[in-house]
Amino acid sequence: MVLPLLKLGTLALKTLSKPVAYRIKKEAGLHPKFRNFIVGIAQANHKMTTTMQRRIYGHATDVEIRPLNEEKAVQAAVDLMGDVFVFSVAVAALFFEVQRSSRSEAKKEDIRKQEIEGMRQRDEELRKEIELLRQKLAEIEQLATSRGIAGAFSFRHMQTEETKSIPAAA
């Protein structure tokens, strides 16, 4: 029950982050100091992506790359910021999910270890009980061989009489 609700909450968080990213994009383009800062980031991003594309397609990379005009640079930078914001929210949600999952697995592992330890203890108890029964069987066999077969039957008869007389004496 918790897992579907958690996944639904993660999806809602991602969905709600998109309007926030849009608002960041809108406000970032209007503030003059921030606008100048992001133009530099956008120009650097444009140069890096253009160079990577030229390398991928096998074109010459030593050519001069024309800078974007200010409006395109601002638009590219705010788009990049919005995408980074949405991506960071998704990464945070993923990190949270991984942490939750690892805690759950750790609890399951602890339970398994406790079950195994309980089985080991039970195994040891059974081993001791088997050894005790073997000793008793060896004693009975020794009595039976020393008294013969008739002695074994009289031994059982003697034991039942002793058990009957013990409660009566008490």
DSSP type of residue 30: T
Q: Which two tokens stand for residue 5?
A: 């609700």
Task: Please compute the mean of the pLDDT values over residues 36-65 and round it to a whole number.
Answer: 86
**How many Cβ atoms are within 10 Å of 21's Cβ, its own excluded?**
21
pTM check: above 0.75: no
* Domain residue spans of the chain: 2-169
**pLDDT tens, residue by residue, 21-46:** 777 777 776 778 888 888 888 888 88
